[in-house]
Structure 1
Amino acid sequence: MDAPAPKGLPMLGLLMTVALGLADTSPPPQTIYEGGEVWTGSGFTRGAVVVEGDRIVAPGQARPDAHRVSVEGRYLTPAYGNAHAHVTPATPEASRRYTDAGVFYVWNPNTVVLGPDAKAFWARPDAYDVRVSQGGITEPGGHPERLYVEILAGPVYGGRPREWFVGNAFHYGATPAEIDAALDLLVSQGADFVKAYLLDSEHYAELRDDPDAYGRKGLNPENMPYLVAAAHARGLFVVVHVETAHDIAVAARAGADVAGHLPGYAATTEAELAGARLTPEIATLVAAAGMQVVPTYALIRGDAYDAETALSADLANVAAVQRENLRLLRVAGVKVLMGTDGFGPVWTEAEHLVEIGAMTSAEAATMVLSTGARLFPERRIGCLDPGCEADFLILDADPTQDIRALRRIAGRVMQGTALPGPEDR
C-alpha cells in the first residue's frame, strides 16, 4: 500500500493524478455545520462552518448539494494540542486515545528512536499528528538516564542494557564536540526538534560528580548557548527541561525556544519552592528571548491525566508559587502552551490552572485552543476560517464560561471527516 501524503499538502494527490491524466473533475463533497457558535480566536460568534474535502471554505461557496449537520446550541472549536507528551506510539489505539480526548496535535520531547513507518502513520489523514525530539541531550548520570536504565528498561524495553539507551533514549553533551555529535545523530534519526536538560544548574559544579545526584542533574549551563546555536544552525528548535528559576534564566539567555515544564511543577519542599520562584527580571528575560512555556503544573496532583479530586491543602503553598510564576510570565507577554507530560487529556491541566487562580476559564480555554497552531506553525490549523484545515471539535458547552466544558466533546472532525468517538464504539 502506498504511503500517505503528508497533511498540509492537500493538492499533492490531485496534481499527481492530473499528471497521469486520471483526475476526477467532480468537486469534493461539502458538509455544512450550521446553527452553532464558532470560535474566532478570542471568543464565539454564531455562524456556520463549511467543509469541502479537507479544508474549510467560505459560506458563500456552499453548494445546494452540501450535506447539512445541525450543531444548534453547540460550540465549534479548533482541536486541542498537547505540547508535552511522552507516550506517542504510532498505532491506531494510541491515536484514538488522543483524538477521543480532542487532542489532534502532539510534541513528544524525548522518545526512543522511531523509524519512517512512525512518521508515515502520523501523516495519515485519520491519525493524530506528532513531532518528536528523539532522545534528549544531558550529561552522564543526568536525567533521564536513571528513568530509562533503572525504571523503564525492564517493563517497557525488555531488559535492554544501559549501552543501548545511550544514543537512543538520551545523548551525552558534556562538551561542544559531544553536543555536535549528538545533534548530528539526532538529524540522522529524523528528530523534529531538540530536547535539552537543565536541572538545578546553579548547583551544577556540586552535582556533576555526586553519585547521590544520579538522575537529578543535567547539562553544564555554560554549554547551553553553544547547544542552542548549534541546534538552530541545523534547523532544529530547542525545548529545555527546567526545574529552577536559574534554569529557565539560563535557557532564556541561551536563546532556547521553549521551556518544557516551569519551575514549581514538581517542587514541594521549602528549599525547592524557594528555587522555583521567578522574579519580574527573569520573566522579562524569558519574554525578550521569545521563549514559549509549557507549565505542566497539574503534575503536583499526582496522576494529572484523569484525577478530578480537589487540590490538597498541603499543596496550597505550591499552588501559590505556580500562580505567581504564571502571573509574572503573562504580564511580561510570554506565550503559554498546553501540555500534560503524559497521554492527556489536556483539560485536567486547564482545570488546575483555573482552580489555583492562575487563569480564568476564558484565558485557559484560549490557551488550549491556540496550542495546536503553535505546534505546527507552518500549517493552517487552530482556526475555523476559509482556507484552514478542517480539524475541529464540537462541544456541548462554552469552555470560556466553564473550563470543564473542554471535556464535553460531542463530535470530532479531522481533515474534513467525522471521527467516531468513544460514544460511537
Structure 2
Amino acid sequence: MSRRLLSLLSLSVTILFSGIARAQGQAPDAEPFKASAQLSFALVNAQWFDGQGFKKGTLYIVDGKFTAQKPARVNRRMDLKNQFIIPPLAEAHNYNLQNDWGIEHYEQRYIQDGVFYAAMLCSDPAELATAKTQLNTQDSPDVVFASACITSSDGQPLAALMAAPAKPKLADIADKAVLVMDKPEQVDQKWKLVTQRKPDLVRITLSYSDKPELRAKPELKGRLGLDAETAAAIVKHAHQSNLRVSANVDSAGDFDAAVRAGADNIAHLPGHFNHHGDGPERYLISADTAALAARQKTTVTTAIAATQLYKTTPEQAESLRQTQIKNLQTLKAAGVTLLLGSDVFTGTSQAELARLAETGVFSNAELLKMATMDTPRALFPKRQIGCFEPGCEASFLLLPSDPLQDLKAVATPMFRVKQGRILTQVDDVAETSATATESTDAAKKAKAAGKKSTKKKAPATAAKPRKKT
C-alpha cells in the first residue's frame, strides 16, 4: 500500500475517533517552545500541590529532579510568593499527535496548555516512525501509542477508513492500518501482528456488543466492534505479552464486557452519545461492575467533552449529561481511578477538565489530582512524575492564583519547566538561561566575611504570563 494511502487512512482514524467531521486548525503563528539547558533551581516561598492542598517551603532542583539538598550552584533562584506550583497535566484519550500532520498542528498546543503527557489511542504504525522522533524530547510532550488497534470485520473505524478519498477496499486496510479479529481463534492466529508493532498499548473497540442484532444492518457495517468473547481473548494474550489494553466502549454492556475481560483501561464513559435511540438505562454503569473495576484496578478515562462534538437537541444533551453525572458518581463511590482525557481532536485535556468541573461531582482538589497525578502516572507507571518529593522528575507549571479556589487558573500557566528545563518561546531565555548563576557556597563565604558576592544573581521573579495562542 502506498505511503499516500497510509497517510489518508491514518488521518481518517483520527477524524473518526475524535468525533470531528473534518480536520481543523492551522499551524500556530507563535514561536515554538524551546527548552533551556538543564538548570539548578532554588524555589523559595513555594506553594506546591500534594494531592489534597498546597504545601509551603523551598524546593530545590538538580539534574532534572527534585532534591532535598540545596545545590552548590543555583542557576535560577525564584521567589514564588503568592504563586502556585502544580505538576503538568496529562491527556489520556486523543489522536492528534500520532502523525506528522497532527504534530505540526497540535504539538505546541499541548505545551501551551501545560499538558506534558499523552496517550494516542489508534496509531497507524506506518506514520509513527517519523512522528516518534518529534515527541518524547526535552521540549515536546511525552506520548504513548496504541499502535495495535483491534476491531472486528464490521467494526470501527473501518467505515471511515473505506470512505477515504483513495477509496480503499477492506483488503487494503485489514491487518494493516488496523487489525481485524472476529473470533477467539483468530486472536491466536494473528497475535504475531500485534507484537510486531511493538505497541505501548493495545486498543480494542466494542460498540453495542450487547446488541448482536445490529450486525444484520448493512448501514452499520464498519461501525460496530468486537464481541465480548473475542475481546476477552485479546486481553488475555496482551497480558501474557506484558501489554496493557485500553477498551473503547459505547454502551454499559460494552463497559461490563471490557471490565470482565480484564481491560486495564476503559477509554471513555458509556453514553458519550446515543447512537441508536436507546433510553439512558442502556448507558448506566452498574455498582457491581464499578466495584469489580476498582478491585482489579481498571482505570476509566472520562472523555465527556467529546459529547459536545455531536449534534444534539437540548433535551438529548441534558439526558446525556445526567447519564454521565450518574456514571461518574457510581465510579467515584466505588473507588475507581479516573483519568483525564478529552477525545477532542482539536484540543487537549484542558477541555475535559473544564467539562468535568461543570458536573459538580468532584472538588477542585480531586480534579487537580486526577489531571496532574493520577493520569500521568497511569500513562507512565515506571516514572516518578506528578510529585515534588526528592527523586521526582522536576516538571511543573507555575500558576498566577490558587486553582483550589478557581480551577480556571490551570488554563493559564505562566511558567513551564520540564525535567529541570525552562520551556519558553523566547530564544534569548532558552539560550542564555544557564549563564546566570549563583554559587551558594560563595555567597555564604562572602556573607561571613562581610562582603558582597561578586557572582551574578539570577532574577528573583518568575516569567510574566504570556498570551495563550
Query: Is it true that 1:69 corresponds to 2:78 in the alignment?
Result: yes
How many residue pairs get aligned? The number is: 386
**Superposition RMSD in Å:** 2.5
* Residue matched to 1:381: 385
* Residue matched to 2:418: 414
- CA distance, structure 1, for counterparts of residue 363 and residue 350 of structure 2: 14
* Residue matched to 1:352: 355
- CA distance, structure 2, for counterparts of residue 268 and residue 361 of structure 1: 32
Q: Which shifted more, 110-119 or 323-332?
A: 110-119
Correspondent of 1:321 among 320, 323, 328: 323
- CA distance, structure 1, for counterparts of residue 210 and residue 39 of structure 2: 59
Any idea what SS the aligned residue of 2:246 has?
strand
- CA distance, structure 1, for counterparts of residue 228 and residue 275 of structure 2: 24
Q: Following TM superposition, by how much is the alpha carbon of 1:286 offset from its aligned partner in structure 2, in angstroms?
A: 2.0
Query: Is it true that 1:108 corresponds to 2:120 in the alignment?
Result: yes
Q: Following TM superposition, by how much is the alpha carbon of 1:190 offset from its aligned partner in structure 2, in angstroms?
A: 2.2
- CA distance, structure 2, for counterparts of residue 48 and residue 76 of structure 1: 12
* Residue matched to 2:199: 191
Correspondent of 1:42 among 52, 58, 70: 52
Correspondent of 1:32 among 30, 39, 42: 42
Q: Following TM superposition, by how much is the alpha carbon of 1:70 offset from its aligned partner in structure 2, in angstroms?
A: 2.6
- CA distance, structure 2, for counterparts of residue 50 and residue 302 of structure 1: 43
Q: Following TM superposition, by how much is the alpha carbon of 1:35 offset from its aligned partner in structure 2, in angstroms?
A: 2.1
Q: Which shifted more, 40-49 or 257-266?
A: 40-49
Query: Is it true that 1:366 corresponds to 2:369 in the alignment?
Result: yes
Q: Which shifted more, 342-351 or 235-244?
A: 342-351
User: Mapping of 1:265-344 within 5 angstroms?
Assistant: 265-267=272-274, 271-302=278-309, 315-343=317-345, 344=347
Change (3 A) 1:140 1:65: closer
- CA distance, structure 1, for counterparts of residue 109 and residue 176 of structure 2: 26
Correspondent of 1:146 among 146, 153, 159: 159
Amino acid at match of 1:244: S
Q: Following TM superposition, by how much is the alpha carbon of 1:169 offset from its aligned partner in structure 2, in angstroms?
A: 2.8
Change (3 A) 1:382 1:312: farther
Q: Following TM superposition, by how much is the alpha carbon of 1:383 offset from its aligned partner in structure 2, in angstroms?
A: 0.9
Amino acid at match of 1:81: A
- Asked if structure 2 preserves the Cα contact closer than 8 Å seen for 1:198 and 1:240, the reply is yes
Q: Following TM superposition, by how much is the alpha carbon of 1:64 offset from its aligned partner in structure 2, in angstroms?
A: 5.2
Amino acid at match of 1:97: R
- CA distance, structure 2, for counterparts of residue 97 and residue 195 of structure 1: 25
- CA distance, structure 1, for counterparts of residue 314 and residue 61 of structure 2: 45
* Residue matched to 1:13: none
* Residue matched to 2:143: 130
- Asked if structure 2 preserves the Cα contact closer than 8 Å seen for 1:134 and 1:191, the reply is yes
Q: Following TM superposition, by how much is the alpha carbon of 1:142 offset from its aligned partner in structure 2, in angstroms?
A: 0.7
- Asked if structure 1 preserves the Cα contact closer than 8 Å seen for 2:184 and 2:229, the reply is no
Change (3 A) 1:234 1:277: same
* Residue matched to 1:55: 65
* TM-score scaled by length of structure 1: 0.84
Any idea what SS the aligned residue of 1:131 has?
strand
Q: Which shifted more, 317-326 or 118-127?
A: 118-127
Amino acid at match of 1:192: D
* TM-score scaled by length of structure 2: 0.76
What 5-or-longer segments of structure 2 have no aligned partner? 1-37, 426-465
Q: Deviation digits for residues 342-375 of structure 1, max 9, x if unmatched?
A: 3533222122122122222222122111111211
- CA distance, structure 2, for counterparts of residue 345 and residue 316 of structure 1: 23
Change (3 A) 1:77 1:234: same
* Residue matched to 1:83: 92
User: Mapping of 1:150-165 within 5 angstroms?
Assistant: 150=163, 153-154=164-165, 162-165=170-173
Correspondent of 2:180 among 165, 169, 172: 172
- CA distance, structure 2, for counterparts of residue 424 and residue 218 of structure 1: 39
- Asked if structure 1 preserves the Cα contact closer than 8 Å seen for 2:184 and 2:233, the reply is yes
- CA distance, structure 2, for counterparts of residue 348 and residue 312 of structure 1: 20
- Asked if structure 2 preserves the Cα contact closer than 8 Å seen for 1:134 and 1:169, the reply is no
- CA distance, structure 1, for counterparts of residue 123 and residue 354 of structure 2: 27
Amino acid at match of 1:230: H
Any idea what SS the aligned residue of 2:305 has?
helix
* Residue matched to 2:396: 392
Q: Which shifted more, 91-100 or 285-294?
A: 91-100
- Asked if structure 2 preserves the Cα contact closer than 8 Å seen for 1:110 and 1:169, the reply is no
Change (3 A) 1:181 1:125: farther
Q: Following TM superposition, by how much is the alpha carbon of 1:29 offset from its aligned partner in structure 2, in angstroms?
A: 4.3
Change (3 A) 1:268 1:196: closer
Q: Deviation digits for residues 315-365 of structure 1, max 9, x if unmatched?
A: 222211111111111111100000011353322212212212222222212
Q: Deviation digits for residues 6-52 of structure 1, max 9, x if unmatched?
A: xxxxxxxxxxxxxxxxxxxxxx7412222231111222112233221
- CA distance, structure 1, for counterparts of residue 216 and residue 424 of structure 2: 53
Q: Following TM superposition, by how much is the alpha carbon of 1:274 offset from its aligned partner in structure 2, in angstroms?
A: 2.2
- CA distance, structure 1, for counterparts of residue 61 and residue 172 of structure 2: 47
Query: Is it true that 1:216 corresponds to 2:229 in the alignment?
Result: no
- CA distance, structure 2, for counterparts of residue 168 and residue 405 of structure 1: 43
Any idea what SS the aligned residue of 1:32 has?
strand
* Residue matched to 1:230: 237
Change (3 A) 1:148 1:268: closer
Q: Following TM superposition, by how much is the alpha carbon of 1:65 offset from its aligned partner in structure 2, in angstroms?
A: 4.0
* Residue matched to 1:7: none
- CA distance, structure 1, for counterparts of residue 169 and residue 276 of structure 2: 34
Query: Is it true that 1:96 corresponds to 2:108 in the alignment?
Result: yes
- Asked if structure 2 preserves the Cα contact closer than 8 Å seen for 1:239 and 1:260, the reply is yes
Q: Following TM superposition, by how much is the alpha carbon of 1:187 offset from its aligned partner in structure 2, in angstroms?
A: 1.9
Q: Deviation digits for residues 151-191 of structure 1, max 9, x if unmatched?
A: xx23xxx6665543322331111123432354322321221
Change (3 A) 1:54 1:37: same
Q: Which shifted more, 231-240 or 176-185?
A: 176-185
Amino acid at match of 1:85: N
